[in-house]
């Protein structure tokens, strides 16, 4: 089975990891405290078993004939070894990747739980409850159930073989079940809490990553077209300057100033999270910018009717598509004409932007079937994400000297991600109800 990588194991996740580390660091304090508490509980259990075994060792045949100092030292030494093995196995339970193999840990625990019993008496078998706890925690359910039941039967059998009465034997069995149950609950609580904290840190990291992707996408979509337009206007201004057309030069410089203000407003809108676009403004800006670049623009769409029929959310997505398509024509294509068509029919909005300036070496998504299918290029990927966010689909086709970007968005279908394709809550608007640029980009 292929392991699904955690968020922090992806390239973008590694870039955003410091933010997740802050959450992980804050939550790990509680995990460490609970881990210390668990170790203390297991040590207290070890001390309790030692206190019980030391007096009982003196009642064994070996203890009656051995020196008193040895009768005390041997159980204490055995208890220290058992406690050490107990902590090692506990580490395997809490951090499987950091401790020894499970089989080795469980075999070591079985040795210290059973081997000293013939010398120190059946009271030493209380350690088998700790072994039973680790069996339940470390092994699959079916295997653990069989071994747990076998350990209980062995516990009862050994007590009876030692000559203990049924009352003491039953008490030993109840103690085996109760002690192991409490330790299992404690370990399960700790491991579950650790997983919850890891999941919390991963979710925080994923949220940081999602926001970074949103900002990156919006920076490209919001500012890319304005910066492309600024470059175009500056080039036109240089031509007017060389030709001595001062009035035209001042006009183009005014346009550059307006575009820079629009870019600054877009950036503020990006920071505050308000990023609504107007389809009418984008169509008007597309006409103007393409005309300035010497590209004919034919628009077959009624933006006001589209907003009425399709709704503000779908028409806003269409505005993003128009913006990105216009930017691509200006940056990548050697077009003479660009045709924009948008209509509502059969419960769908169909938008198509086509130009006749295909250059396979420059146009994103052209020249290779896989790239056309995926819509290569960060801008097209961002637009595809927005279209998919409202349940639509986008197609990129290139052939016969024509590049076509089309999208189809169903009407009245709830968004598939985050309530909005751009992450805004439904109904939020741009400040003042206007396009973030403050006016129609490219208009005089």
Residue closest to 132 by CA, chosen among 151, 112, 156 = 151
How much is the average pLDDT of 394-419?
76
199 Cβ contact list (under 8 Å, min separation 6)? none
The answer to whether residue 387 scores a pLDDT higher than 80 is yes
Residues of the chain above pLDDT 90, percent: 11
3-state secondary structure of 380: helix
The answer to whether residue 149 scores a pLDDT higher than 90 is yes
| pLDDT at res. 194 | 77
What's the CA gap between 10 and 16, in Å, rounded? 10
What's the CA gap between 256 and 232, in Å, rounded? 9
Look at 3 and 75; give whichever has higher pLDDT. Answer: 75
Q: Which two tokens stand for residue 336?
A: 């003479």
Range of 100-104, 222-226, 271-275 with top mean pLDDT: 100-104
What's the CA gap between 407 and 415, in Å, rounded? 16
Q: Which domains does the chain have, with CATH numbers?
A: 7-206 (no CATH), 214-433 (3.30.565.10)
As beta bridge partners, residue 410 has: 348
What's the CA gap between 421 and 385, in Å, rounded? 7
What's the CA gap between 308 and 289, in Å, rounded? 26
How much is the average pLDDT of 151-162?
91
The answer to whether residue 324 scores a pLDDT higher than 60 is yes
3-state secondary structure of 288: helix
273 Cβ contact list (under 8 Å, min separation 6)? 423, 424, 428
What's the CA gap between 104 and 318, in Å, rounded? 63
How much is the average pLDDT of 348-363?
75
Residues of the chain above pLDDT 70, percent: 75
As beta bridge partners, residue 402 has: 399
Q: What is the DSSP string of 236-280?
A: HHHHHHHHT-HHHHHHHHHHHHHHHHHHHHHHHHHHHT-----HH
| pLDDT at res. 162 | 86
| pLDDT at res. 157 | 93
Q: Residue 405 in contact with residue 326, Cβ under 8 Å?
A: no
35 Cβ contact list (under 8 Å, min separation 6)? 94, 190
What's the CA gap between 57 and 48, in Å, rounded? 15
**Among the residues of 95-219, which ranges form H helices?**
102-114, 117-120, 127-138, 141-161, 166-218
Q: For residue range 173-225, list pLDDT tens digits in order.
A: 999 999 899 989 988 888 888 788 778 777 777 777 776 776 676 676 666 76
| pLDDT at res. 431 | 35
The answer to whether residue 376 scores a pLDDT higher than 60 is no
Give phi and psi for 303, each to the nearest 5.
-60, -40
The answer to whether residue 328 scores a pLDDT higher than 80 is yes
How much is the average pLDDT of 361-380?
46
As beta bridge partners, residue 343 has: 350
Look at 222 and 335; give whichever has higher pLDDT. Answer: 335
What's the CA gap between 19 and 10, in Å, rounded? 15
Q: For residue range 1-54, list pLDDT tens digits in order.
A: 344 445 444 444 444 445 445 445 555 676 777 778 888 888 888 788 777 777
On average, the pLDDT of the chain sits at: 76
| pLDDT at res. 63 | 75
How much is the average pLDDT of 323-331?
83
How much is the average pLDDT of 144-152?
93
How much is the average pLDDT of 291-302?
86
Give phi and psi for 356, each to the nearest 5.
-105, 25
Q: Residue 376 in contact with residue 332, Cβ under 8 Å?
A: no
Order of strands, sheet of 348-355, starting from the edge strand that comes earlier in the sequence: 296-300, 337-345, 348-355, 402-410, 393-399
Q: Which two tokens stand for residue 274?
A: 């308000």
Look at 226 and 401; give whichever has higher pLDDT. Answer: 401
The CA-based dihedral angle spanning residues 124, 130, 134, 137, taken in that order and rounded to the nearest 10 degrees: 150
């Amino acid at each position: 089975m292929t392991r699904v990588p955690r968020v922090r194991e992806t390239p973008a996740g590694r870039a955003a990891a410091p933010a997740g580390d802050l959450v992980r660091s804050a939550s790990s304090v509680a995990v460490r405290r609970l881990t210390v508490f668990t170790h203390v509980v297991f040590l207290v259990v070890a001390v309790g078993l030692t206190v019980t075994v030391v007096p009982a060792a003196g009642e064994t045949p070996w203890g009656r004939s051995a020196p008193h100092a040895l009768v005390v030292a041997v159980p204490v030494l055995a208890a220290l070894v058992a406690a050490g093995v107990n902590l090692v196995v506990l580490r395997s339970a809490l951090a499987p990747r950091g401790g020894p193999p499970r089989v080795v840990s469980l075999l070591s625990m079985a040795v210290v739980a059973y081997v000293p019993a013939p010398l120190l008496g059946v009271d030493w078998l209380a350690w088998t409850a700790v072994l039973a706890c680790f069996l339940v925690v470390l092994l699959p359910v079916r295997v653990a159930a069989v071994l747990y039941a076998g350990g209980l039967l062995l516990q009862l059998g050994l007590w009876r073989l030692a000559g203990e009465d049924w009352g003491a034997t039953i008490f030993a069995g109840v103690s085996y079940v109760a002690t192991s149950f409490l330790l299992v609950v404690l370990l399960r609580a700790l491991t579950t809490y650790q997983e919850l904290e890891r999941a919390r840190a991963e979710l925080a990291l994923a949220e940081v990553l999602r926001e970074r992707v949103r900002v990156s996408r919006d920076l490209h979509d919001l500012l890319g077209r304005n910066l492309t337009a600024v470059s175009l206007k500056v080039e036109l201004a240089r031509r007017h300057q060389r030709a001595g057309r001062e009035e035209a030069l001042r006009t183009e410089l005014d346009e550059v100033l307006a575009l820079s203000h629009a870019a600054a407003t877009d950036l503020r809108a990006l920071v505050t999270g308000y990023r609504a676009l107007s389809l009418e403004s984008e169509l008007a800006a597309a006409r103007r910018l393409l005309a300035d670049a010497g590209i004919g623009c034919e628009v077959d769409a009624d933006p006001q009717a589209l907003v009425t029929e399709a709704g503000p959310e779908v028409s806003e997505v269409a505005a993003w598509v128009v913006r990105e398509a216009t930017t691509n024509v200006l940056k990548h294509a050697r077009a003479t004409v660009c045709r924009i068509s948008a209509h509502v029919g059969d419960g769908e909005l169909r938008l198509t932007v086509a130009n006749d300036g295909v250059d396979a070496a420059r146009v994103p998504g052209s020249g290779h079937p896989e790239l056309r299918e995926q819509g290569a290029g960060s801008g097209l990927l961002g637009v595809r994400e927005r279209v998919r966010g409202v349940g639509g689909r986008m197609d990129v086709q290139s052939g016969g000297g024509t590049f076509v970007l089309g999208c189809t968005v169903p009407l009245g279908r709830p968004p598939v991600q985050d309530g909005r394709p751009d992450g805004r809550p439904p109904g939020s608007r741009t400040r003042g109800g206007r396009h973030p640029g403050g006016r129609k980009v490219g208009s005089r």
